[in-house]
Amino acid sequence: MSWARSLPGPLRRSLSRLVHAAWDGAAELGAIGPDDPWGRRFGRMGQGACLLFPQGAVYNEHLIHIGAQTIVGPGASISAGMAPGQEMPTDPVVSIGSRCLIGRGSHIVGHWEIVIGDDIQTGPYVYITDQNHSYADPDAPIGRQWPSNAPVSVGAGSWLGAGAIILPGTVIGRNVVVGAGSVVRGHVPDRCVVAGVPAKVIRAYVAGDGWLPMRADRRDRERLADAGPLPGTQLPDAQLSGTQLPDAQLPDAQLPDTQLPDTQRVEGVPEPPHPVF
């Protein structure tokens, strides 16, 4: 039995209420908004935006833009560069749109350019980065080899499930669902569901046909290509210094239709649940 549990009941309950009241007060006072001294360090923080307490590693805030009414969950880290005070070649390095919800414990680690669109929701512990270790010399320690950068963009209206990892060079279209635990690299088209390691398109919305499971045959590839982006939502191609990235891969075999719980379906459209901070 711990010393706290050995205290007399009335005293222990009183101290417990005091500790929780102090924590609630710290959460209120420790949250960062646009009018707070810490909030004014950001390159831009829109009205109604808030970083909930306790924050993770947040530094070089002047290179980070956060849109209006965006909520960043407790323990989430948002950084520009490897260390506070580092000079960066781009400004802003990290841009988060309006009305986003970033789950607790998530990491957004920018070194070149990360653009997160409006109305993005993520589950907890999502990791997004635009830098990776290189492996040019098989004999040198990987951690000592010069890293490579490639910009990342996540289209508006998308949902990133818990534990998803978004790697450098990824371009995710609009209204995309990324399954929990997926590892994403390459180009992901609009209006689809990707999942797996590496992430593959498992469902896609095709105009006139609705939501369809995707296979690796030529017919489904042509359907997805013909569907095109949502009107007026074409994302610019990432500038990757000539490096060609593969599109999100299609599975080798037909996958069964992904059934979401009834409480999360809206007339054929996979509606992501509200994130848990």
CA atoms within 13 A on the CB side of 14: 5
As separate numbers, helices (DSSP H) first and strands (DSSP E) second, the chain gives 2, 26
86: tokens are: 């580092």
Q: Which of 65, 111, 133, 274 is catalytic?
A: 133
Containing H/E element for 187? strand 187-188
Annotated catalytic residue 133: yes
Distance CA 126, CA 84 (A): 22
Q: For the chain, percent helix, then strand, then coil, each to nearest 5?
A: 15, 25, 60
Distance CA 113, CA 127 (A): 15
The candidate with the shortest Cα–Cα distance to 165, out of 195, 200, 126, is 126
Active site residues: 133
